[in-house]
């Protein structure tokens, strides 16, 4: 098949790459030998069309250093690309973001699958304010209704969409087998590894909770890692001066460095207000690390399946209590880590890629 993946994220983009980008590279790395894959990505300063990671990349937009200008230019020029070249592909996967509505379904005769990571709802206005958030909230409500075929990363809160779909495939995220094989000794730090986004990822809650318990664990550190959407230094300023040196920003990590950082943690924490099916939690479980997550619906499976501890979303007190419980009980950490590793074995990227490939082949063989 000739596959077009429409996704603004790409490796090397200075505006960062989140779970959607990681998912795309992991899946298509396993399909590129059998199919011709093209990424249609957002242009950034220095971006050049070509083959990267064995996958063809086409960059459209502008080489602006402004994220807003880059997103706007990408949305317009990607739509133009789809109008001119969409019919050259057997199937198109459009990654949905309310800020980039391409209307690709109406620009090509090729079958289009809309891939949705998750839904934010009212969180758009809470994070971006009424003026910017309301339009995105409205796009999220209306835009998916224009499509009939979907790939969903999670089916949580997607019942109405699934009922109206002509085709709907729920294909979760996965992990590489190398994480399961990891055997680093447990270190003396709590780890957060995802995008440094205070509202989205609940990092204000994590830092404040660490401030509450730090005095009782004098050697314990908090390590933050990931692309900086918000400033890690600003986060540290939430703490008293004597605690700030115990909070470290490790930067954006990937590959072997990422695996070692996760594997060496005492506890992995993801206190998000919004998520879909976070890859980092699966990777932490695969490394045998005990995890603590907020109890939002998308991550409630952690508590329901007894894979880790959960706390009431937004509660600093609740997270601090769970951290103390986990830090004081080595046997609990070991039990949860072992259980999580067993769960992670059923979520390998190899299996995910096969499911994804089957969905694309069915779509390509059907009429639009």
Q: What is the residue-level pLDDT of the chain in tens, covering all 368 positions?
A: 999 999 999 998 988 888 899 999 999 999 999 999 999 999 999 999 999 999 999 999 999 989 889 999 999 999 999 999 999 999 999 999 888 889 999 999 999 999 998 777 777 787 778 777 788 888 888 899 999 999 999 888 787 788 888 889 999 999 999 999 888 889 999 999 999 999 999 999 999 999 999 999 999 999 999 999 999 999 999 999 999 999 999 999 988 999 999 999 999 999 999 998 899 999 999 999 999 999 999 999 999 999 999 999 999 999 999 999 999 999 999 999 999 999 999 999 999 999 999 999 999 988 65
Q: Are residues 24 and 168 in the same domain?
A: yes
Q: Are residues 30 and 102 in the same domain?
A: yes
Q: Are residues 204 and 334 in the same domain?
A: yes
pLDDT on residue 250:
96
Q: Are residues 315 and 301 in the same domain?
A: yes
Domain range for 161: 2-174+349-364
Q: Are residues 233 and 203 in the same domain?
A: yes
Mark residue 351 as left, alpha or beta (left: phi above 0; alpha: psi -120 to 50; beta: remaining): alpha
pLDDT on residue 151:
95
Q: Are residues 240 and 316 in the same domain?
A: yes
Total domains present in the chain: 2
pLDDT on residue 368:
53
Q: Are residues 199 and 320 in the same domain?
A: yes
Q: Are residues 199 and 258 in the same domain?
A: yes
């Amino acid at each position: 098949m000739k596959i077009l993946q429409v996704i603004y994220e790409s490796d090397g983009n200075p505006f960062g790459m989140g779970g959607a980008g990681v998912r795309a590279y992991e899946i298509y790395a396993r399909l590129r030998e059998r199919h011709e894959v093209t990424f249609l990505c957002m242009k950034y300063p220095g971006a050049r069309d070509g083959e990267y990671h064995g996958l063809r990349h086409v960059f459209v937009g502008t080489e602006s250093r402004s994220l807003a200008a880059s997103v706007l230019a990408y949305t317009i020029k990607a739509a133009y690309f789809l109008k001119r070249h969409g019919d050259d592909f057997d199937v198109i996967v459009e990654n949905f973001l309310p800020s980039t509505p391409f209307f690709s379904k109406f620009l090509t005769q090729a079958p289009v699958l809309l891939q949705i990571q998750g839904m934010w709802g009212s969180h758009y206005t809470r994070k971006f304010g009424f003026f910017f958030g309301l339009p995105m909230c409205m796009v999220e409500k209306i835009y998916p209704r224009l499509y009939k075929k979907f790939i969903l990363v999670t089916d949580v809160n997607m019942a109405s969409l699934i009922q109206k779909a002509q085709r709907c495939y729920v294909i979760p995220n996965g992990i590489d087998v190398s994480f399961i094989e990891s055997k680093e000794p447990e270190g003396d730090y709590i780890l957060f590894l995802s995008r440094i986004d205070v509202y989205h990822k609940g990092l204000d809650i994590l830092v404040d909770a660490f401030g509450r318990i730090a005095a009782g664990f004098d050697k314990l550190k908090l390590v933050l890692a990931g692309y900086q959407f918000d400033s890690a230094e600003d986060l540290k300023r939430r703490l008293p001066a004597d605690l700030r040196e115990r909070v470290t920003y490790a930067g954006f990590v990937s590959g072997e460095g990422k695996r070692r950082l996760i594997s060496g943690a005492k506890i992995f924490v993801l206190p998000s207000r919004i998520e879909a099916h976070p890859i980092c939690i699966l990777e932490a479980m695969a490394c045998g690390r005990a995890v603590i997550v907020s109890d939002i619906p998308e991550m409630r499976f952690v508590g329901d399946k007894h894979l880790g501890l959960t706390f009431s979303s937004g509660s600093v007190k609740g997270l601090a209590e769970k951290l103390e419980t986990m830090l004081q009980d080595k046997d609990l950490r070991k039990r949860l880590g072992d259980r999580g590793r067993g769960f992670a074995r059923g979520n390998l990227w190899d299996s995910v890629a096969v499911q994804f490939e089957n969905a694309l082949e069915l779509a390509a063989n059907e009429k639009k």
